[in-house]
Structures are given as structure tokens and as C-alpha cells.
A and B are shown apart, each in its own frame.
Chain A
């Protein structure tokens, strides 16, 4: 606001508030202070919940952090019956499934966002946009069920056999590993379902940043004889570049922590590092979901909570990066994000 020369109109609301206060001086008005107390209490409660959560996670995972040291993060033997709590397979599975999800979701989301903003009639764009947003409203357990009963058999019977037979089938990372079980329940399937779960989030943010691209700039491009494709990828995408990165980070944060859907379809192998995307694996969140409610050993509970803490920290880092990035974009584009 300081850059705006004529501040008269901006100052007027504050001026009128002062005037109103002056007018009511001498009368007792309780509405404002009460609202302020309630609002402050609510705000503080959120902050307290946040710090309380972190503190509880650290406190409850302490037996594992202190007792197991780095075992949780560096070994692959997850066997509560023999007191081994190595969750490296879960960390690897989380990373792999997230990467698969992003590789599929990001290009798809960008194409949809471009379509909505640039290519279709606004009324059709609104319908498609609504459909994409409705994807975000579907509870994740539904994705898990559809994944288990529809996507998994389809992968198992059609996609994976074709993939294994194709030249790609001998590429390391896709070539079936020793724990291969048909490829239906696999990190690859989990990544595909995750992609559809994060798609709406990335699309929504990407659409908003693409809308921020000034019409004048695009028209200038068309005026110089650019084709639609040239305007899209040389002007729109470049202009919205950093905003799109922010969108990707938001999707990433979601994909990392997704629990229920993944628990159903990832194949849940805790004791082997996945050698291939077509192998079954596990993720941090699904390992917790699968084993927490039957965990009775103090150290096992602590190890699972430590995994929760790790997931929380990873997600937080990505959220913070996303927020900082988006804020930078807002500053650069004059606060219209």
C-alpha cells in the first residue's frame, strides 16, 4: 500500500472507524471486545493445538528415538515380534509412490488448467472445473475401494503384463523384482491412484495462477503472430512458472501423507526394499494405519509415533516451501494470487 501515491481512499475506512469510535465515546459497547476475546481464544487454540501436537508426538516417540536410535530410518527389518523396527522400506515406498503420483499428476493438471483457462468457453470450463474440484471432495476411502476393486485388477490383467512384455519391462526399476506378485498391488498402482487424488489440488492452484497472466501480455503474443501453443508455453506457462511450482508442492504434501487409499493397494510388504515400481511396498502412512490399532508393545507404539513425527516433519517442510514460494509469487505479481 505504501507504493500507492494517492492513499486518501485507502485511509477512509480507518478514518470512518475513528469517527465512529468518537461518536460512540461515552457509551459502553461490549460487542467488539467480546468478539475480540473469542476470536483471540480461537486463534490461540489453533496455535496451541499445533504446538501441543508436535510436543505430544515428540514425547510419545521418545522411547523409540532414544532406544532405537537410527534403526528406524536405516534398516529394513520390520518385525515387532522380534523387536526390530526398521522402516526404511516405508520411507522408500513413500518416496517412490509420491514420485509416480507427481510424474502423472503434474502434466495432467497443467494440461487441464491450461484447457480451463485458455482453450474452452468459460461456461464449459466452469463445468469441467467443477468436476475436477469434486474429485477433491471424494473421501479417500472411496479411492481405496475403487482402487482395490477396479484399478488393481485392471493393472494386474492388462497394464502390467503389457508393460512387462514391452521393452520397458527390462528397464531396471520397472523390471519385476524378486517380490513381484503380479503387479496389481504395487507401488505403481498406488502412485496412479494417488495421482488422481492430488490432481484437483494441483489443477485448482495452477488454474488460479494461470488466470493471473495479464490478458495484455497474451494479446501481445498473439499480436506478434504467435500460435496458441506458443502463447501457452512461452508466455502463460513461463509467466505462471513459480506459481505452478507452488501448486506442485501442495500436491506433493497431499501425496506424501495419504493413508487409507494407499493402505489398500500398495501391497504392504514391510520387510523388503522395493526393487521395482511393480513390486509391492508400503508407505509410512499406510504402515501406521495397518499396525497402530493392534500395537501393544510400548516400543512399537513409540516407533510408529516416531514415523508419524517424521511424516509430519516432511509434510511440514513441503508445506512451508509451498507457502513461501506462493508468497514470493504473490509479491512478484502484485498481490493478485
Chain B
């Protein structure tokens, strides 16, 4: 045994070294293949980002491919992931529910434009209150979410709800636990329409003064539906499909409106996109107009100004052009609102010319 020990040890050392080499080769091979993967043809365009518009974008992608256009591979990994991916150049476009500010766009060489509009709806579960019956103002909503109004029969709530019998029940506040574009829109609304009252800030997640967190729209909806006296906020499509009791909100013009696609469309149409140029940074909450729903939000597309591959950049713009021009019916059927033609005209005249490849603009 002893005689054979030292050659055996040698063999063992040699195999270990060989194994290391094999591993290193495997790593190099993997690295090489993934690096080359993104430079495929323009048959498929790749996007990543917000989960809010995912149902719409994937449906649009299907329909567009059906017309002979490029296939769309949209990964709903969240706005944060989409922004990182488009900055790193691993996708053709990113999607975000919150627009980037001009400074950040310029720093990372990106442009952005809105592709669809949706709304966020406060939903309640209050005994004796039917869908669309309860009216709230921004001030009341902010004070409820501050934990300052704690009972449904508070005189301040009753004052705008003449004719509605409100129970003497504790208000249970429900918000999103996960960081989300829905929260971004909702808190931006509170910050814009109830300044001085809402102090927790406007972001994808904020330090909530009170309440309990539900994960995703489904988590908030489940909590609201389970606990009598609850108030929460969900995306419009979700509130509609889950048949939840939604609330009428007072808009900037002082009118109480119910959430509807027309009311979101009014917000998108009334918004002053002209002055948002060149960044198109615009928060669609608290817009003017008598029929405007005040808690609306646009979902944005992010693209690199300098496209590495002209064909892929052009294919992406072709898809967006198709969606702006032909996508409205599909959007409506899925409870989204398409971007008004006037806004698309602005996108074409002021944003897309900045997207170039090797010095030539891709959209003419």
C-alpha cells in the first residue's frame, strides 16, 4: 500500500488540477455564450420592466407578431429591473411605471415616452356602502392614511357623504407591502393633492404612518375583502375584475368622479405633455378637467439614445408605432387606456429623433 501511495497522490493532484481546468473552461464557455446571446437578429425584440402593463404588452406582442411583425419577449421583472437592464444594454427597451427624471435620463443616455395609461382606485369594505357610493377627497384620503381619521362615521367623512349611512366602525388601512408602481402613483397623488397633510413622501414604498401591508394587488384585495372597515388601493383592472367596492374621488376641478377608462383617458388628454419635453417626465396624478380621474398614471418605455444595432432599434420603434396606432381596442378590452394621438405626435416629433444608430436617426 505504501509503495503505491505516492504515485496515487500524484494522480490525485493531477486530476484535481485537471478538474480546475475543466471548471475554468466551463465558466469561460458560459460567459462567452451569454455575452453573444444578445446580438441576435431583429426577429425578436426584448423588453423588461414593470409588471403593471405586462398583460397589455404581451397581448400587443402576440397581435403584432400575428401581423407579421417582430416577436416581443417582454419580461415583467419590475420597473427597477427594467431600468437596470436597459442601462446595461441587455434588453432593447425597459418599462417603468415611474418616469425617470431628466438628469438620470441624460446621465445614462436614455429617452422615455409613455405607452399606456392606467389608474389606481381606492377600494373599501364598509358595511352598507355599495360600489361607487362613498365619496372621498384627497385631504380625507391622506388623513385616513395618516391614521388621523380612525372611524368611518367621522364628521369629516360624513360631510361629503350626505345620504350615505356610515357605520361607527374602525378604519383599517391597507397598503402595499411590496415596492410598486401602484404605490408610486397613489403616494404621488396624496403628495400632490393633499400637500401639507400627506408627509410620508411619494415613492414606490414609503414609511406608512399606519396600516397593514398586503403583497401585490391580490394581497391588498384579500385584506380589504376579509376585514370589515378596510380601505386599500389597487389597480383599476384589478378592482374591476375582483368586483370590489370602489370610491368616488374629488378631482382637481372639484367634481366627484368614479374610476373609469374615460376618466383615465381624460387625465392623459388634459395633462400638459408639451412642457414635459424633452424628458416627458410627467406624473399623471391630480390633472385638471371636469371628468378627470385624479389617481391616474402613465407607464413609460425607456430606450437607449444610441442603439448598438440599428435593425433591432428600428424593430422596437416599429412595434411601438403599431401599438400607438392600432392598440387602443386591445387596451380597452384589458382595462388600460391607450395614449392619445396628440401625445403620440409629440413622441414622434420630439423624442424619437433622438434615437440614433451610428449617427443616423432610426425613425423618420
- Chain A residues whose C-beta falls within 8 Å of the C-beta of B173 in the assembled complex: 181
- Interface residue? B159 (CB, 8 A): no
- Interface residue? A166 (CB, 8 A): no
- Chain B residues whose C-beta falls within 8 Å of the C-beta of A80 in the assembled complex: 179, 203-205
- Chain B residues whose C-beta falls within 8 Å of the C-beta of A81 in the assembled complex: 201-203, 205-207
Q: Which of B223-248 contact A (CB under 8 A)?
A: 223, 226-227
- Interface residue? B81 (CB, 8 A): yes
- Chain B residues whose C-beta falls within 8 Å of the C-beta of A231 in the assembled complex: none
Encoded as 1 (CB less than 8 Å from any A CB) or 0, chain B from 1 to 44 comes to 10000000001100110111011001000000000000000000
Q: Of B18, B203, B226, which is within 8 A of A153 by CB?
A: B226
Q: Of B16, B83, B205, which is within 8 A of A291 by CB?
A: B205
**Which of B64-72, B213-221, B279-287, B315-323 participates in binding chain A?**
B213-221
Give the contact-size bracket for chain B.
Answer: 35 or more
Encoded as 1 (CB less than 8 Å from any B CB) or 0, chain A from 294 to 318 comes to 1110000000000000000000000
- Interface residue? A202 (CB, 8 A): no
- Interface residue? A267 (CB, 8 A): yes
- Chain B residues whose C-beta falls within 8 Å of the C-beta of A269 in the assembled complex: 208, 211-213
Q: Which of A247-288 contact B (CB under 8 A)?
A: 263-264, 267-271, 280, 282, 286
Take A182-B227, A293-B78 as given contacts and tell me if A271 and B208 are in contact as well, using a CB distance cutoff of 8 Å.
Answer: yes
Least distance between B340 CB and chain A CB atoms (Å): 28
- Interface residue? B172 (CB, 8 A): yes
- Interface residue? B251 (CB, 8 A): no
Instruction: Name A301's closest neighbour in chain B (CB-CB).
Output: B80
The CA of A36 and the CA of B78, in the complex, are separated in Å by: 44
Mostly, the A contact residues are: helix
- Interface residue? A185 (CB, 8 A): yes
- Interface residue? B84 (CB, 8 A): yes
- Interface residue? B222 (CB, 8 A): yes
- Chain A residues whose C-beta falls within 8 Å of the C-beta of B205 in the assembled complex: 80-81, 270, 290-291, 294
The CA of A289 and the CA of B83, in the complex, are separated in Å by: 18
Q: Of A37, A41, A79, A148, which is within 8 A of B201 by CB?
A: A79
- Chain B residues whose C-beta falls within 8 Å of the C-beta of A295 in the assembled complex: 80, 179
- Interface residue? B158 (CB, 8 A): no
- Chain B residues whose C-beta falls within 8 Å of the C-beta of A37 in the assembled complex: 15, 18-19, 22
- Chain B residues whose C-beta falls within 8 Å of the C-beta of A149 in the assembled complex: 222
Number of interface residues, chain A, beta carbon within 8 A: 44
Take A40-B15, A40-B16, A294-B179 as given contacts and tell me if A156 and B227 are in contact as well, using a CB distance cutoff of 8 Å.
Answer: yes
Q: Of B84, B179, B219, which is within 8 A of A264 by CB?
A: B219
A77 lies within 8 A of B207 (CB): yes
- Interface residue? B180 (CB, 8 A): yes
- Chain A residues whose C-beta falls within 8 Å of the C-beta of B77 in the assembled complex: 293
B178 lies within 8 A of A36 (CB): no
A293 lies within 8 A of B81 (CB): yes
Least distance between A161 CB and chain B CB atoms (Å): 12
Give the total number of A-B pairs whose CB atoms are below 8 A apart: 127
- Interface residue? B177 (CB, 8 A): yes
The CA of A329 and the CA of B20, in the complex, are separated in Å by: 36
B223 lies within 8 A of A185 (CB): yes
Encoded as 1 (CB less than 8 Å from any B CB) or 0, chain A from 152 to 174 comes to 11001000000000000000000
- Chain B residues whose C-beta falls within 8 Å of the C-beta of A271 in the assembled complex: 207-208
Q: Of B80, B84, B210, B223, which is within 8 A of A184 by CB?
A: B223
Instruction: Tell me which of A80, A153, A184, A296 has the highest count of chain B C-beta atoms within 10 A of its own C-beta.
Output: A296
- Chain A residues whose C-beta falls within 8 Å of the C-beta of B81 in the assembled complex: 293
Least distance between B86 CB and chain A CB atoms (Å): 12
A290 lies within 8 A of B177 (CB): yes
Least distance between A133 CB and chain B CB atoms (Å): 28
Encoded as 1 (CB less than 8 Å from any B CB) or 0, chain A from 174 to 187 comes to 00000101101100
Least distance between A302 CB and chain B CB atoms (Å): 14
Least distance between B127 CB and chain A CB atoms (Å): 15
Residues on A facing B (Cβ under 8 Å)? 18, 33, 36-38, 40-41, 44-45, 48, 77-82, 84, 148-149, 152-153, 156, 179, 181-182, 184-185, 263-264, 267-271, 280, 282, 286, 289-291, 293-296
Residues on B facing A (Cβ under 8 Å)? 1, 11-12, 15-16, 18-20, 22-23, 26, 77-81, 83-84, 172-173, 177-181, 201-208, 210-215, 218-219, 222-223, 226-227
With A149-B222, A181-B227 given, name 12 new contacts (CB 8 A): A33-B11, A40-B15, A41-B23, A44-B16, A152-B222, A185-B213, A263-B178, A268-B212, A269-B213, A282-B213, A291-B205, A296-B84
What would 13 A/B residue contacts be, using CB atoms closer than 8 Å?
A: A37-B15, A41-B23, A80-B205, A181-B227, A182-B227, A185-B214, A267-B213, A289-B178, A290-B213, A293-B77, A293-B179, A294-B179, A296-B83
Nearest first, the 10 closest Cβ-Cβ pairs linking A and B are A268-B177, A268-B213, A294-B179, A293-B78, A81-B203, A40-B19, A41-B19, A79-B207, A181-B212, A290-B178
